[in-house]
Amino acid sequence: MHPNEAMDELMTCRLDQARKAVGPCTLVIFGASGDLTARKLIPALYHLSKDGQMPADFRIVGFARRAKSAAEWRAELREALTAYSRSQPVDEAVWETFAQRVDYCEGDLTDPTAYVKLAGVIGAFPTPELRQNLLFYLATSPSQFSVVAEQLHVAQLLHRDGHGYWQRLVIEKPFGHDLETARELNHELTRFAHEQQVFRIDHYLGKETVQNILTFRFANSIFERLWNRDAVDHIQITVSEKIGVGSRGGYYEESGALRDMLQNHLMQVLALVTMEPPVSLDAEPIRDEKVKLLSSVRRLQPGQVADHVVRGQYCEGFVSGEAQAAYRDELKVNPQSDVETFVAVKLFIDNWRWAGVPIYLRTGKAMPLSASEVRVQFKPTPNVLFAAQCGPLLDANALTLRLQPDEGISLRFTGKVPGVGYGLRPVRMNFSYDSEFGAYTPEAYERLLLDAIAGDATLFIRRDEVEQAWEIADSIRAGWDARPLDPHEFYPAGNWGPHLADTLLTQSGRAWREPRNP
């Protein structure tokens, strides 16, 4: 080992001792026949088991309406691993041990007798921990969340007081359709479980690079000192998707880009990038600061939306040379649909740190590439010396956090071009997670499932956080007031949204910086 590597190893600060232990438990997956279970949940649980991260004893029970035996479900899961496992080939010895812990229960989510049957399956497990420590993963339609919670409570599988054991509900987004329905859902769930038992999962928070935002900010004093209105000119957060809606047209007709992406993923990244330091790394202090930040985001009045928000919908075009149909021509989409597939927003945070600093967020489908990044652009140098001579050619310093793909961090600054003259040019210092730590990055669901089993809610979303994010989204939607899209709000597939999105920045002398071009 190189001496510097040895020193790096000695200097590594390990916080793993603070991680909550995982004990024997049973995971029940509602919606066991669905795509999420096959593509994400079972591969994640298999890899956790393979890596020795799962409890010493555990069981997995799939609950779905389709009639099949446990053996048939195991065979389906084995095929799913071949298709979706992040490591190939599948380790047969690990799979055989894993499969022995997998069971299946047929039943309808609305049928009380199905939950009695489920209780019988769980009740046959050999230890009290397997019968009482229960994680219920609701990979179902959001409209069924409260139904499942109530039926579990009636069947005495979900208790508000576990008497020394625990039961938890994990639910997937969307958490409601707007603020009103989010509040209704939260009220219904907490009729049968404490808020501490409800784990609202946003897979974005399980991404390694998203988690590293807090580390980058609060473990490096050189950057934290610049992280405020005195040094920062503005912030851009981009989450772009290369694909169109594909087979999800029916879902997208009900959500649109505002509800599908901005209300959750972008708001979560915004909160982590701009929140105040928590008093500790425990779950509640971190979530407290995220809620404080979101409550500080200025709500838009309906008359302000046109000046602060741009929406769009993709029409036919080409993405990476491949033809892409218009959104209105996609499967299960209304041919006259006015649902937005792109949204860009200019927000302000009304607190001491960020007063007056514009925050620009954008997300869209059928864009030139799939990427997620945060760009913190610092204020330009005073108009003396180099700025006076170079004018707009002297680019501002910027820090870019690349969340995906090519995860890493780059710092852009100005350097002198070698030679006898005095030419200046923007240059970059790049940090790549792959180069520094190797290519392996665990799937987001691995981290999140393990945290849910351990009862660590740090990366899960609290009810007041959900409601604050919906307030922001609803204030935007109110400004649209069911107005149909006009011709200027369409953009050809393969472009960075409608031209109107550029005016959000150009009107103040700024410009979007495209991912991979920091």
Instruction: Please tell me the distance from the alpha carbon of residue 290 to that of residue 231, in angstroms, as a whole number.
Output: 22
The span from the CA of 159 to the CA of 191, in Å, is 11
Structure tokens at 111: 């049928």
- Rounded distance between C-alpha atoms, residue 277 and residue 139, angstroms: 33
Separate counts of helices (H) and strands (E) for the chain: 20, 17
The residue count of the chain comes to 518
- State the Cα torsion 270-276-280-284 to the nearest 10°: -60
Q: Which sign, positive or negative, has the C-alpha torsion 34, 38, 40, 42?
A: positive
For 348-385, b/e burial (b = at least 16 CB within 10 A) is bbebebbeebbbbbbbbbbbbeebbbbbbbbeeeeeee
Query: 132 in helix, strand or coil?
Result: helix
Instruction: Render 70-112 in DSSP notation, one character per residue.
Output: HHHHHHHHHHHHHHH-SSSS--HHHHHHHHTTEEEEE--TT-H
Cis-peptide, bond into residue 405, ω within 30° of zero: yes
CA gyration radius, the chain: 25
CA-based nearest residue to 367, from 238, 461, 251: 238
Cα–Cα distance list, 237 to 178, 308, 443 (Å): 23, 15, 22
Q: Is 286 exposed, middle or buried (0-12, 13-18, 19+ CB in 10 A)?
A: buried
Q: Is 269 exposed, middle or buried (0-12, 13-18, 19+ CB in 10 A)?
A: buried
Distance CA 350, CA 360 (A): 15
- Select from 101, 114, 107, 109 the least CA-distant residue to 74: 101
C-alpha 30/C-alpha 62 separation (Å) is 6
DSSP 373-435: EEEEEEPPPPSSTHHHHHGGGSPPPEEEEEEESS-EEEEEEEEEPSSSS--EEEEEEEEEHHH
Catalytic residues: 265
Is residue 61 within 8 A of residue 134, CB to CB? The reply is no
**What is the spatial distance between Cα 161 and Cα 167, in angstroms, rounded to a whole number?**
9
Cα separation, 446 vs 73, whole angstroms: 21
